[in-house]
Copies of this chain bind each other. A is one copy, B any other.
């Protein structure tokens, strides 16, 4: 590989001069700068970013830590992050940690060993690595959390108002006449899992709907598990008239269960999905769903981080809380209430 030294030698100047020319720094005459630039192109010179990183302690690399890139929610958020980061010449190391906190720890260490300029993370559910995150922050690592957050950590984050999202959905169902509502929630120990469940319980209580513990089950944010739970719920003698999903996998699980049992949507069962995937709008019937603003989430997270990095912004943590929106389609039926 051709290095600055090679350019310097072939031009009979010093490496210092070449470096300055290449980086548009002052202290080089127009003439020499031009000759350096030309020679660099001629030789096909490409910066060695490891060496540069060593000197400048800046790598223009951001670590992104998520549970599953296969989940459209995450891949959409990442796309949006990349858009803003790429414009500023940063790029991403993406780490898939599943729900494995051991792996999360390993990846975090890897990211610091790679000297990333910052980290954007959706922590694993169990919060095992709280102390790791805290340590990183204490050592000056810039961290932005998103989707899930760890309550006792002082750092920027961007989330949606999960509780309100589900609360609103329950209210909507109630308005449509539903009094028996089931939910497949996620991982109870995770922020999103917990908040969404809370929203559900609160709404059911506030609105005086039927409360039935058997209609509330954890699908661990997985299709197979959600499918099993939904089957259990829908096969009971007294089953809910509406089911709420709490992520895109649980939506699929519910739908598959309904299909297997032969329940027609929305005639026999109303369903509200989570996350707005393209197939939902062409499904028969089109699925009413809660939509997270993935683009805004990604953009905000990236912008917050960039702010910390570039402006060395060290004010106290900023919290971006976004609203999810209900997209009304046709998977919810109106139920006639006898006594109105």
Residues in A81-101 with C-beta less than 8 Å from chain B: 82, 91-96
Q: Is A256 an interface residue (CB 8 A)?
A: yes
Q: Which residues in B have their C-beta under 8 angstroms from that of A130?
A: none
Q: A50-B50, A69-B78 are in contact. Are A223 and B278 (CB under 8 A)?
A: yes
Are B59 and A70 closer than 8 Å at their CB atoms? no
Are B93 and A92 closer than 8 Å at their CB atoms? yes
Are A79 and B75 closer than 8 Å at their CB atoms? no
Q: Which residues in B have their C-beta under 8 angstroms from that of A49?
A: 113-115
Q: When chains A and B are docked, how far (Å) is the Cα of A252 from the Cα of B278? A: 8
Residues in A7-66 with C-beta less than 8 Å from chain B: 44, 46-51, 53-54, 59, 61
Residues in A262-280 with C-beta less than 8 Å from chain B: 277-279
Please state the number of chain copies in the assembly. Answer: 2
Are A93 and B96 closer than 8 Å at their CB atoms? no
Q: A46-B109, A114-B50 are in contact. Are A76 and B82 (CB under 8 A)?
A: no
Are A93 and B91 closer than 8 Å at their CB atoms? yes
Q: Is A139 an interface residue (CB 8 A)?
A: yes
Q: Is A211 an interface residue (CB 8 A)?
A: no
For residue A59, give the distance in angstroms from its CB to the closest CB of chain B.
7
For residue A291, give the distance in angstroms from its CB to the closest CB of chain B.
15
Q: Is A153 an interface residue (CB 8 A)?
A: no
Q: Across the two chains, which residue of chain B brings its CB closest to A51?
A: B54
A69 CB contact (under 8 Å) in B47, B75, B113: B75
Q: Which residues in B have their C-beta under 8 angstroms from that of A256?
A: 281-282
Q: Is A112 an interface residue (CB 8 A)?
A: yes
Q: A69-B69, A76-B70, A252-B278 are in contact. Are A54 and B46 (CB under 8 A)?
A: no
For residue A164, give the distance in angstroms from its CB to the closest CB of chain B.
27
Q: Across the two chains, which residue of chain B brings its CB closest to A95?
A: B91
Residues in A244-268 with C-beta less than 8 Å from chain B: 252, 255-256, 259
Q: When chains A and B are docked, how far (Å) is the Cα of A284 from the Cα of B264? A: 11
A70 CB contact (under 8 Å) in B72, B92, B95, B279: B72
Q: Which residues in B have their C-beta under 8 angstroms from that of A259?
A: 282, 284
Q: When chains A and B are docked, how far (Å) is the Cα of A20 from the Cα of B78? A: 39
Q: Is A340 an interface residue (CB 8 A)?
A: no
Write the residues of chain A forming the contact surface with B, with a CB cutoff of 8 angstroms.
1, 44, 46-51, 53-54, 59, 61, 68-70, 72, 75-76, 78-79, 82, 91-96, 107, 109-110, 112-115, 135, 139, 223, 252, 255-256, 259, 277-279, 281-284
List 9 A-B pairs, minimum CB-CB distance, nearest first. Answer: A279-B279, A49-B113, A50-B53, A256-B282, A50-B50, A255-B282, A47-B113, A69-B75, A70-B75
